[in-house]
Amino acid sequence: MATAAHDLRATSARPDMTAALMRETGLTDACLRQFVEDFYAQVRCDPVLGPIFAARLTEWEPHLARMTDFWSSVALMTGRYHGRPMEAHAQLPVDWSHFERWLTLFRQTATESFAPDGAAHLIARAERIARSLHIAVEDSRASAAPRLRPTDRGA
């Protein structure tokens, strides 16, 4: 497996860790790219999520490439994604029901695409990140709420 880690040096910042994760999950960059394409094909047709993406994305290829790097970083720790997902979602017209819908499509596509270990690995991470993004959306809307000042605490 030293060879696998060696081959990964061009595509991963942590080749040993990526090789171990690939072994444990059965995931690869190539199958993550296919998964991203299949998942967003569903999202684009979805009556609730499709219009939200259509209003913001005119070119899909850069988004698919970015999302492949994102999932490669999250699932295989390749360190290839450098972006700001919280900022990208903070102003979207979404509530938890949109995240639930997104997760339903994600779980379906992951379960159809991968063996159980790989699907579970991705789904657990998607669920955790969806919760964080939802909090970011809620926080950006709460910006008009009064902020705590030092004198408000423990008074």
Q: Phi, psi (5° rounding) for residue 25?
A: -105, -20
What is the spatial distance between Cα 120 and Cα 123, in angstroms, rounded to a whole number? 5
State yes or no: residue 94 binds ligand HEM (CB under 6 A).
yes
* 3-10: long-range pairs with CB below 8 Å, 24+: 8/78
Question: Looking at beta carbons only, is 16 or 60 nearer to ligand HEM?
Answer: 60
Q: Measured between alpha carbons, how far is 29 from 18 in angstroms, rounded to an integer?
A: 10
State which of residues 35, 39, 40, 102 lies at the interface with ligand HEM (CB under 6 A): 102
Task: Please select the residue that binds ligand HEM; options are 15, 68, 98, 118, rule is CB under 6 A.
Answer: 98
* CA separation, residue 54 to residues 1, 25, 31 (Å): 43, 33, 25
Contact region for ligand HEM (CB under 6 A) — 2-10, 22-30, 97-105, 140-148?
Answer: 97-105
Which residue has its beta carbon closest to ligand HEM? 83
Smallest distance from the beta carbon of 39 to ligand HEM, in angstroms? 10
- 111 phi, psi to nearest 5 deg: -65, -35
Q: Which is nearer to ligand HEM, 48 or 142 (CB)?
A: 48
- 21 is a site residue for ligand HEM (CB under 6 A): no
User: Cα separation of 98 and 52, whole Å?
Assistant: 10
Per rule CB under 6 A, is residue 135 in the interface with ligand HEM?
no
Q: Which two tokens stand for residue 93?
A: 């017209």
Select the residue interacting with ligand HEM from 40, 99, 114, 121 (CB under 6 A).
99
List residues near ligand HEM by CB under 6 A: 49, 52-53, 56-57, 66, 70, 83-85, 88-89, 92, 94, 98-99, 102, 126, 129-130, 133
